[in-house]
Amino acid sequence: MEEVFKLDMTEEEARQMDAEVEQMLAAMRQANERIANQQQEIEGLQAETRHIITQMKERQSVEATV
């Protein structure tokens, strides 16, 4: 639901406010993109960690049987 507020401002002030809102939205989009990239990196590191742990467990298992 979108609320509309009537503000007493000039056209120039309204344009300036619109520009500032657009800048904030662009910054939020960039932040969301960085977060998504960081999440992908985290998931990759988690997968790599699981792989390393699996390898270590396999080595321990082999060494225990030798």
What b/e sequence results for 22-61 when a residue is b if at least 16 CB atoms lie within 10 Å of its CB, and e otherwise? eeeeeeeeeeeeeeeeeeeeeeeeeeeeeeeeeeeeeeee
pLDDT of residue 55: 97
Q: Against a cut of 0.75, is the pTM above it? A: no
Residues 5-35 have pLDDT tens digits of 777 889 999 999 999 999 999 999 999 999 9
Give the chain's count of helices (H) and strands (E). 1, 0
Report d(CA 49, CA 51) in Å as an integer. Answer: 5
Residues 30-57 have pLDDT tens digits of 999 999 999 999 999 999 999 999 999 9
Q: Dihedral of the CA atoms 36, 40, 42, 47 (nearest 10)?
A: 160
